Structure 1
Amino acid sequence: MRVIIAGCGRVGATLAVQLVAEGNDVRLIDRSGRARRRLPAGFPGRFHEGNGYSRTVLEAAGIEHADAFVAVTSGDNSNIVSARTAKETYRVPIVLARIYDPGRADLYRELGIPTIAGVRWTVHQIHRMLLHRHLTPELAFGNGETLLVRSQLPGYLTGRHLIECEVDGEIRVVEITRAGRSIVPAHSTLAERGDLVTFAVAATSLGRLRGFLDKELGT
């Protein structure tokens, strides 16, 4: 996945390091060249100096082939302009923006741009929305360390005990919606085709859950 991050502050730099460690192609944009110092030595991603809403800078960063754009500068105005440019001009599939003024949330919503607020859990939220967007979040606890997510079960699990989906200390099955009715599963409950399952999962284990749900029969 090619991800362009506008803003190399604490959030942008932390997110970039996490994404490149997972094998993603990351390009950072910041108006201050000194922001590069927040990146570790040997950081494999690219850094571009300039404004995140400048088309010249965006194109130099490869936005025409980007899979995602994240605006996490220190200003709401810069974030909304750059996010809107990425979404409307370059048709980037995934566009996310950090917001500082909750009063502007409706504006972002009208533009179809998901927003992330707060400080401590911003990186976790953006990371989840980028890489685990098919796991629909229902609720987050604490600072986003534990999540409730829902997903259809893959066909290969039909007839198996739902407890097989669990990992001690990481993933728990807490609810099933079956034929329009919600039930709390017992240890002996078997999965049925079409089950919509709610998982309590550690944010750091979303990749493990995704891999489990994407697993094909016999692999």
Structure 2
Amino acid sequence: MKVLIAGCGRTGAALAVRLSAEKHDVRLIDHEPRARNLLPPGFPGHFRAGNAFSRPVLEAEDIEEADAFVAVTSSDNANIVSARIAKETYRVPSIAARIYDPRRADIYRELGIPTVASVRWTVSRIHQMLLHRELIPELAFGNGETLLVRSPLPPYLKGRRLSAFDVDGEIRVVEVTRAGRSFVPLRSTPAEPEDLVTFAVDATALGRLRGFLNKEWGT
């Protein structure tokens, strides 16, 4: 995965190191050249000093080929502008932005930009959003250890009991929206086409849930 990160502060640098260790292609942009000093010696990614919402700078880092764009500068305005450019101009598939002022949350939401608050689990939260972008959490508890995730069920699961998704300590079906009506399912409730299901998920089990949703059971 090719990831562009706008902002090489503590969050951006930590996220870049984590993604690089997983062999992703990471590009960092920061207006302050000295920000590169937060990266460890031998960092395999690329750092560019420049404005993260400058199109020449973004294109120099091949944003047209990016799979994800993360805006974690120290400015909400810069994060909004750069994330919006990445989403609307370059059609980057996965976008995430850090937010400092919660009053701006509605702005991000209206633009379709997932956000994380300025708290200690920011890096883990963004990491989850990038690698499991089809399973964006609706709500997080504690420091992000437990998540609420909503997802439509694939057609091939029609007729299977929703309780078959339950994995003790990891995944639990807690709600279903069917034909516009929400309800708490019984253990015997079968899945129907176009069900929108809410899962309570341990953050470490997002990959397992994605596997359940992306391939037919037993394969």
How would you bin the TM-score normalised by the shorter chain? 0.7 to 0.9
SS of aligned partner of 1:26: strand
TM-score w.r.t. length of structure 2: 0.81
Q: Write the letter of the residue equivalent to 2:32.
A: S
- Is the 2:121–2:143 contact (alpha carbons within 8 Å) kept by the matching residues of 1? yes
More deviation in 188-197 or 46-55? Answer: 188-197
What does residue range 63-102 of structure 1 map to in structure 2 within 5 Å?
63-102=63-102
Displacement of 1:109 in angstroms is 4.7
SS in 2 for 1:51: coil
Q: Which letter does structure 2 place at the counterpart of 1:117?
A: A
State the partner residue of 2:201: 201
Deviates more, 1:172-181 or 1:66-75: 172-181
Contact (CA 8 Å) 2:94, 2:133: kept in 1 or not? no
Aligned pair in 2 of structure 1 residues 34, 200: CA closer, same or farther (>3 Å)?
same
What SS does structure 2 have at the residue aligned with 1:201?
strand
Any stretches of 5+ residues in structure 2 without a counterpart?
Answer: none
**Distance change (3 Å), C-alpha of 1:151 and 1:96:** closer
Instruction: Report what 1:122 is aligned to.
Output: 122
- Give, as a single letter, the amino acid of the residue that structure 2 aligns with 1:137: P
Which amino acid is 2:81 matched to?
V
Query: Percent identity among equivalent residues?
Result: 74
RMSD: 2.9
Once the two structures are superposed, residues 26-61 of structure 1 have per-residue CA deviations (whole angstroms, 9 ceiling, x without a partner) of: 211123344334334443322222232233332221
Match of 1:10 in 2: 10
| Range with greater deviation from structure 2 (156-165 or 137-146) | 156-165
Matched-pair contact (CA < 8 Å) for 1:156–1:217: no
Where in structure 1 are there 5+ consecutive unaligned residues? none
TM-aligned CA deviation for residue 199 of structure 1: 0.9
Contact conserved, 1:124 with 1:203, CA < 8 A, in 2? Answer: no
Q: Which residue of structure 1 aligns with residue 48 of structure 2? A: 48
- How far, CA to CA, are the matches of 1:113 and 1:194 in structure 2? 24
Contact persistence 1:76–1:100 (CA under 8 A): yes
What is the CA deviation profile of residues 45-96 of structure 1, one whole-angstrom value per residue up to 9, with x for unaligned ones?
2222223223333222111222222111112333233334334443434333
Tell me how many residue pairs correspond in the alignment.
219
Letter in 1 for 2:48: H
Q: Does structure 1 conserve the Cα–Cα contact (< 8 Å) formed by 2:6 and 2:73?
A: yes
Deviations 1:143-169 (A, max 9, x none): 322111122223443343433312221
Give the deviation of 1:200 after TM superposition: 0.4
SS in 2 for 1:143: coil
CA 18–133 in structure 1, closer or farther in 2 if over 3 Å, else same: same
Task: Name the CA shift for 1:168/1:218 in 2 (closer, same or farther; >3 Å).
Answer: closer
Change (3 A) 1:197 1:83: closer
- Partner SS, residue 172 of structure 2: strand
Q: Structure 1 pair 176/85, CA: closer, same or farther in 2 (3 Å)?
A: closer
Distance 1:109 1:153, change over 3 A: closer
Contact (CA 8 Å) 1:148, 1:199: kept in 2 or not? yes
TM-score norm. by structure 1 comes to 0.81
Give 3-state SS (helix, strand or coil) of 1:44's partner.
coil
Equivalent residue, structure 2, for 1:167: 167
Tell me: CA distance 1:170–1:63, structure 2 relative to 1, closer, same or farther (3 Å): same
Q: Counterpart in 2 of 1:133?
A: 133
2:153 paired with 1:145: no
The Cα of 1:21 is off from its aligned counterpart by 4.0
Deviation at 1:15, TM superposition (A): 2.0
